[in-house]
Structure 1
Amino acid sequence: MQPNLGAGGRVLLAVAAGVAVSTVYAAQPLLVTIGAGLGVRPETVGALVTVTQLGYGLGLFLLVPLGDLLDRRRLIRLQFTLLAVALLVTGLAGNAFMLLAGLAAVGALAVVTQSLVAYGAALSDPAVRGRTVGTVTTGIVLGILLSRTTSGILTDLLGWRAVYLTACAACLVIALLFVRSAPQPRTPLNYRELLLSTAGLWREQPFRESAVRAFFSFASFSTLWTSIALPLSERGLSHTEIGAFGLIGAAGALAAGPAGRLADRGWGPVVTVGASVLLATSWLVTAHSLVGLAIGAVLLDLAVQAIHVTNQSMIYRPGSGGRLIGAYMVFYSLGSAVGAIASTALYERAGWTAVCLLGAAFGLGALVSSVRAVRRTSPASRPCGSCP
């Protein structure tokens, strides 16, 4: 791939991003089975997701900004190779400690997903940058949701370890595709200065608003997709049937492309508000039946992915893409971790309705952040230079 990224290049990045991110979410429909096999208690099984997300957050801060300093393609190839090793450790884990260590490493290295987003944005013309982000995000969404379906099928056929060993092989294949280097980015910063610059992004209000929305929207997302296996398991559904809900939620990927194109046309803030309203209200239909759960999952995923694409499109700027996207995704990871541990613990104590209320509360947090951002940037809120 060369600058002026074409459709084929975007598809390759989307596939690679989907495979990488699937390794973070593959365990969600398997929590009960993995926990039982390695002695993890049901009320703490959400820790398997949380430790992965915490590893992901650490990798976002320490690894993704390197894309602004090093040869991006070589960095991506190295990350995929190391991710394959971490997946091998996880698939061969003989006890809970080894499993948690493997999952933490998987999370830290799966941030290659965001390196791919920044790489694609850097190679795209500004007029179509939102489209590129949308295409790669579509791959990410499909990777997240279809990972549940695939992991459920593999577990029913071959056991849960096969999920991680298969992903290990896939990552090695992808690493071989990134065999040539790309033009090295130019930055006057060393690694320490790069990290300090990343941390300093919080002082910028547009970034801060997008980060807060990322936290709330992905806390809501994780609340649903981490805990969904618990009520479905109680209904007697198999791993394959539970994973099939990922196919239902995959409709959310449809939002990524249109949201990116609207962001290119300057409609990002409007899309963000509308999607936040949809996120908060999607939980109203989720609490009552399997049909309601399926409808709510589709609406929630549409909303979250629209917010995600417009957030990234609005904060991106050339030369700092790795730092901006890495720092932004830290809040994504924190939100996912909070949603995972809170939803599974709450389900054990108060049931599914309480989980739905928690998810709706996170959605309202995203809506408040979106409305405040629109009010700040609207013409009516700005001083009038020509007024008397």
Structure 2
Amino acid sequence: MALTLPKTETRPVVGRGVVLVLALACGVAVGNVYFPQAISPSIASGLGVSPDAAALVVTATQFGYAAGIFLLVPLGDRVPHRRLVVTLLALAGAGLLAAGAAPGVPPLAAASAFVGAVTVVAPILGPMAAGLVEPDRRGVTSGILLGGSIGGMLLSRTLGGFAGEWLGWRAPYLAMAALTLGSALVLARVLPRTRPSSRERYPALLAASLRLLRTEPELRRSCLYQAAIFGGFSAAWTGVALLLTGPAYGLTTRSVGLLALVNAATMFCTPVAGRLADRHGPGPVNRLSMVAVVASALVLAIGTAGGAIGLAGLVAGFLVLDVAMQSGMVANQVRIYALRDSERSRLNTAYMTCAYLGGSAGSWLGAQAFGRFGWYGVCGLVAGLAVLVLGKAVRSSGGSQWRDGSRGV
């Protein structure tokens, strides 16, 4: 059974400086998942393999990350946070060094899957940080950490692409290994000592995520919201790569990476979303985010015009879509972190697993929609998923309550 420890032992209050350090660590860890996307062509040319074979490295990293979320994130409730986080970062650094020295695609893919599995530090630090700050700071803290993750995603792809082009594909792996190991050293000194909130055996920890999905309606609500919105988000990014490299624009895949830079604004918006969720509850932030996703789909549809007008529509539409998706994620995390103090990591495991399943399905649906209906089909899919959950959110807004308060959501 879960063991809830006294508040003085499980919730030491930390300052903004420590939260910012945690955000940087999240950025480094998340960057390990995304930088291979930018250097896949360099891997293909450097190892003398086809682009499809090199793409297996990206797939292996993402598969490992999904497996790590399910298998390792629940340990955040069972193992002291400092020991767990530092160990995972050290293992990720070692895996990156092995990947940078790999002689071919099979060992590189194996090392990449290992790195993906053990670099799940961000989903562990999120619930941990929620227990290190006062309840009325959880939203803004989640926003700051999410902003760090977004920054890592952006900078790793951008800098990884430049480093891979100038210095070869091994350079980004070695650079990320240095950053990851450096983060482990910093967190070994910065993270406060915490005690586990549970003494359950490992199989029970894994089963707990499924149990929580069954017993916690607010968790199911957050999972549904994020799976749908993240599914639309993934569908849009899958479809836009086909749009930009197709006859309407005739651009290279590098243009997709440049378009991704609009995500930078999200780093500054997520803390604001967190403050709104702290002040008004997660429900209003969710509903506003869903409305913004529908609006973004309408703006993204301008992309069919091509030329400067179409590009302007894509930039504006993706800016709104990214801010809306990430703001909704902050609201959902505020909701689930308020459910059970002693099981935050397992709650986050269920939530993140559902979110990534929705994103994976959205990527597939986005490709299918583009193939059959073009860019309009993708925009319709994004809007349709948002309308689906918006209707549920509006119907639920009158009766549901926070578990740790009385605000309606």
TM band (smaller chain): 0.7 to 0.9
Q: 1:283, 1:356 within 8 Å by CA — same for their partners in 2?
A: no
4+ runs deviating over 6 angstroms? none
The residue aligned with 2:329 is 308
The more displaced of 23-32 and 8-17 is 23-32
The more displaced of 184-193 and 29-38 is 29-38
Q: 1:38, 1:94 within 8 Å by CA — same for their partners in 2?
A: no
Which 5+ residue runs of structure 1 have no aligned equivalent?
382-388
CA positional deviation for 1:145: 2.3
The residue aligned with 1:222 is 234
Q: 1:17, 1:140 within 8 Å by CA — same for their partners in 2?
A: yes
The residue aligned with 2:198 is 187
Q: 1:14, 1:138 within 8 Å by CA — same for their partners in 2?
A: yes
- Paired with 2:48 and 2:111, the residues of 1 have a C-alpha distance of 14
Is 1:284 equivalent to 2:298 in the alignment?
yes
Q: 1:141, 1:253 within 8 Å by CA — same for their partners in 2?
A: yes
The residue aligned with 1:386 is none
Is 1:171 equivalent to 2:180 in the alignment?
yes
- Paired with 1:346 and 1:374, the residues of 2 have a C-alpha distance of 27
Instruction: Classify the secondary structure of the residue corresponding to 1:182.
Output: coil
Is 1:375 equivalent to 2:395 in the alignment?
yes
Over 3 Å counting, the alpha-carbon distance change for 1:321 and 1:149 in structure 2 is same
From 226, 237, 253, give the equivalent of 2:267: 253
The residue aligned with 2:4 is none
Q: CA RMSD in A?
A: 2.9
From 268, 285, 289, give the equivalent of 1:275: 289
Amino acid at match of 2:350: A
Is 1:18 equivalent to 2:32 in the alignment?
no
Work out the number of aligned pairs and report it.
375
Over 3 Å counting, the alpha-carbon distance change for 1:54 and 1:209 in structure 2 is farther
Is 1:294 equivalent to 2:306 in the alignment?
no
Residue by residue, what CA displacement relative to the aligned partner does 1:158-201 show, whole Å, maximum 9, x if unpaired? Answer: 23332222111100000001225612123242222222112212
The residue aligned with 2:86 is 77
Which 5+ residue runs of structure 2 have no aligned equivalent?
1-10, 305-309, 402-409
CA positional deviation for 1:330: 0.9
The more displaced of 338-347 and 271-280 is 338-347
Instruction: Classify the secondary structure of the residue corresponding to 1:4.
Output: coil
CA positional deviation for 1:119: 1.4
- Paired with 1:174 and 1:105, the residues of 2 have a C-alpha distance of 18
- Where relative contact order (Cα < 8 A, 6+ residues apart) is larger, the structure is 1
CA positional deviation for 1:271: 1.4
CA positional deviation for 1:32: 4.7
- Paired with 1:196 and 1:117, the residues of 2 have a C-alpha distance of 21
**TM-score normalised by length of structure 2:** 0.82
